[in-house]
Chain A
Amino acid sequence: QQQVKQSPQSLIVQKGGISIINCAYENTAFDYFPWYQQFPGKGPALLIAIRPDVSEKKEGRFTISFNKSAKQFSLHIMDSQPGDSATYFCAASVQGAQKLVFGQGTRLTINP
């Protein structure tokens, strides 16, 4: 019940295309859903986050869509750029806790 399942494991997108990464969870106590971006040799960095009272959140080219009934959320990267090539992790946590449960990660490659 503590798992967060992420797909796909790897994704190749052409420059200017839309990258889509999906996550699903079981634990209905989760109420905070961040996405982290990690470049090689670096620690993960917070990209964007959403709470379940909102169905969508957009920050620049990055959008989170959240479906509470389906217990799924996804990251959309519009106009994908080579600089977006990185590993992306979805995560979930329970309010007030600093304990994040991470998905397995998606290695995104944007071809120029």
Chain B
Amino acid sequence: KAGVTQTPRYLIKTRGQQVTLSCSPISGHRSVSWYQQTPGQGLQFLFEYFSETQRNKGNFPGRFSGRQFSNSRSEMNVSTLELGDSALYLCASSLVASWGELFFGEGSRLTVL
């Protein structure tokens, strides 16, 4: 069974640009969550989608948004990039009934210059 796939794995952007990251969950998983990982703040929850609906949202500004498609694939978008947005963005999928049992992808490493 294929794991969670994230693309692109690495990307470099400049301040003010916007970026879109993609995530394909494990087949059969309908919940997709996004986390930001930085050395200073650790792992922080961004948002969670299930059946194309956002069910939970973390404490991030409105520049961070996401969506989920009918095939459970998800995208997240960050607009007007800031230097502090440089981070590893991790996508995780899970079965709906499994609390906390997240299966993470390898992440998309974003560098903002």
Q: Does B21 contact A (CB under 8 A)?
A: no
Cβ of A29 < 8 Å from any Cβ of B? no
The answer, yes or no, to whether B33 is at the interface (CB within 8 Å) is yes
CA distance A33 to B94 in the complex (A): 16
Contact assessment for A43 and B104 in the assembled complex, using a CB-CB cutoff below 8 Å: yes
For residue B39, give the distance in angstroms from its CB to the closest CB of chain A.
10
Contact A43 B107 (CB under 8 A): yes
Stretch touching chain B among A53-61, A78-86, A101-109: A101-109
Q: Are B45 and A99 in contact (CB under 8 A)?
A: yes
B10 nearest CB across to chain A (Å): 11
Count contacts on A: residues with CB < 8 A to the other chain: 25
Q: Is A96's beta carbon under 8 Å from chain B?
A: yes
Main secondary structure of the interface of B (DSSP, over half): strand
Q: A98-B56, A99-B33 are in contact. Are A34 and B101 (CB under 8 A)?
A: yes
Contact B43 A98 (CB under 8 A): no
In the complex, per-residue mask of A41-63: 1 if CB is within 8 Å of any chain B CB, else 0: 11111100100000000000000
**Residues B42 and A91 in contact, CB atoms below 8 Å apart:** no
| Pairwise interchain contact B106-A43, C-beta atoms closer than 8 A | yes
In angstroms, Cα B31 to Cα A43, docked, is 17
Given the complex of chains A and B, what is the CA–CA distance between A103 and B42 in angstroms?
8
Chain A residues within 8 Å of B94, by CB: 98
Given A42-B106, A43-B107, A98-B31, are A32 and B42 also a contact pair (CB < 8 Å)? Answer: no
Q: A93-B99, A95-B99, A99-B33 are in contact. Are A45 and B58 (CB under 8 A)?
A: no
B63 CB–A CB distance under 8 Å:
no
Taking a contact as CB atoms under 8 Å apart, the answer to whether B100 and A41 are in contact is no
CB-defined A-B contacts under 8 Å, sample of 18: A33-B100, A36-B104, A42-B106, A43-B4, A43-B90, A44-B102, A89-B42, A93-B100, A96-B99, A98-B33, A98-B48, A98-B55, A98-B100, A99-B33, A100-B35, A100-B100, A102-B43, A104-B42
Interface, chain B (partner A; CB < 8 A)? 4, 31, 33, 35, 42-45, 48, 50, 55-56, 58, 90, 92, 94, 99-107
